[in-house]
Amino acid sequence: MKQNYTITAIAENRPGVLYRIADLFLRRKVNIESLTVSEIEHAGQSRFTILVRAEPNLVEKIVKQLYRIIEITKVIDSLDESLIIKEIALIKITARNLERRREIEHLVHLANGKISAVNQSYLVIEKTGTETEIDSLHELLKPFGIREFVRSGRIVVFK
C-alpha cells in the first residue's frame, strides 16, 4: 500500500547532488510531493527532506540506491508517526474593507497563524504547522478569494 514517506538524506553540499537524487526518483517513477534543502549543523553538509507517496519496498530500494551517490552520508526513511513535521505557508488575500479584514484576522488568530504583511489592498498570512493545519486554514480562507498561496514543503525532526 502506498504511504507517505519522508526521506531524509544528508549529503556533502556540492553542485550536482540534487540532480542525482532527482534522477533516481525519476528512474523509479516516483513523484516527489515536496522537497526542501538546506545546510545543517555540520558545515558543508546539506539536508534533503523529500516527501513521497510510495510502496514500502520501493522506498527501501530507493534508500539503498541513494547511498550509491558518493556525496551522500546518511539516508533515513520515516513514516509520519515518527516525525515532528512542520511546514510554512504564505497566503495572500485581497482585503480592502475593514469588515473583511477583521473577519480574516479573527480566523487567522483562531488557526494560530499570523499576519506577516499588510497594506491597503491585501493581507499576507503566514501559517506554520502540519500539512493538515495549513490545508484547513487554506479551506477557511478560500471564500475570501486567495491571490497567491505558496507552501515551503515539509521539514522534519525525528521524535
Partner 1 sequence: MKIGVRKLKSKFMKMTGSQAVMESLLRENVKVIFGYPGGAIMPVYDALYDYMDRIKHVLVRHEQGAAHAAEGYGRITGEPGVCLATSGPGATNLVTGIADAMMDCVPMVCITGQVASHLVGSDAFQEADVIGITAPITKWNYQITDANEIPEVFAKAFHIARTGRPGPVLIDITKDAQFATFDFSYPKEVKIESYQPTTHPHPKQIELAAEFLNKSKRPYILAGHGVIIAKAEKDLIKLAEKGGIPVAQTLHGISIFPSAHPLYVGFLGMHGNYGSNFLSNKADVVLAVGMRFDDRVTGRLKDYLPEAKIIHIDIDPAELNKNVKAEIPIVADAKLAIQALEKAMKKNSHKEWVHEFRKCYKIEEKKVIENECSPKKGKIKMGEAIVKINELTRGEAIIVADVGQHQMMAARYTKYTKPNSFITSGGMGTMGFALPAAMGAKFAAPNREVICITGDGGVQMNIQELATLAQESLPVKIVILNNNYLGMVRQWQELFFKKRYSMTKMTNPDFVAVAKGFYLDAEKVEKRAELTSALKRMLKSKKPYLLDIKVEKEQNVFPMIATGASVEEVRLE
- In the complex with partner 1, the residue whose CB is nearer, 27 or 142, is 27
| Least Cβ distance, residue 58 to partner 1 (angstroms) | 11
| Least Cβ distance, residue 154 to partner 1 (angstroms) | 24
Q: d(Cα 61, Cα 103) in Å, to the nearest integer?
A: 49
| Least Cβ distance, residue 7 to partner 1 (angstroms) | 14
- In the complex with partner 1, the residue whose CB is nearer, 50 or 108, is 50
Residue with cell 533516481: 24
- In the complex with partner 1, the residue whose CB is nearer, 26 or 110, is 26
- In the complex with partner 1, the residue whose CB is nearer, 52 or 111, is 52
Residues that bind partner 1 (CB under 8 A): 11-12, 16, 19-20, 23, 27, 60-61, 64-65, 67-68, 70-73
| Least Cβ distance, residue 3 to partner 1 (angstroms) | 19
- In the complex with partner 1, the residue whose CB is nearer, 26 or 84, is 26
Q: Are strands 3-12 and 155-158 parallel, antiparallel or unpaired?
A: unpaired
Angle at 70 (CA atoms; ends 64, 72), nearest 5 degrees? 65
Residue type, 29: K
| Least Cβ distance, residue 70 to partner 1 (angstroms) | 5
58 CB-contact burial (10 Å; exposed 0-12 / middle 13-18 / buried 19+): middle
